[in-house]
Chain A
Amino acid sequence: QVTLKESGPVLVKPTETLTLTCTVSGFSLSNARVGVSWIRQPPGKALEWLAHIFSNDEKSYSTSLKSRLTISKDTSKSQVVLTMTNMDPVDTATYYCARTKISGLAVAGYDYWGQGTLVTVSS
């Protein structure tokens, strides 16, 4: 059974750094072409992709947030970690991790998602 679960602080102050952890089970982060993305959804707004990491450690970042994001993985712990620096109230959102679905050799959406974690940025 594939599951993903996000964990991290529920409240961060402006200018602080957010660290979120996605713990996966039912698959290995070392399997070929396995990948995990972080996606967020501000209240009342659309889903926004943030970053992705593949099993070969290939990484991608949102163009607009690239300077603030770092994604990494610890295969032995089955965890994917996202850090976002210089948090602002506009970063208040539910943050999700999701596994990429691979069809053929290409990404075809996300087949498993965590339940999400709400992060509020406020002083």
Chain B
Amino acid sequence: DGGITQSPKYLFRKEGQNVTLSCEQNLNHDAMYWYRQDPGQGLRLIYYSQIVNDFQKGDIAEGYSVSREKKESFPLTVTSAQKNPTAFYLCASKDGGYGYTFGSGTRLTVV
């Protein structure tokens, strides 16, 4: 079945370490997105990519980096510059219209 795979589901890292979250899709979607969710808040856009080898900053890009070398993959790196990285991270992709598919998310805890 087509869908989005995010891994790992839970991730623990020490403060000051970079960490990369994986997002893979087999839906042949061009557009992919990374969102962050904090308790009691709506999802906020970190980065998005509308085509391979191109990506744009979202509303809260500081402290994060991405790459889009392949259509099916859009990894997110949380760098040591991100001041408060503990959060739930969600990846999504979009078809050519308005249909979105979401992953199951990665919960990152920095200790």
Are A and B subunits of one complex? no
Interface residues in chain B, defined as those with a beta carbon under 8 Å from any beta carbon in chain A: none
Interface residues in chain A, defined as those with a beta carbon under 8 Å from any beta carbon in chain B: none
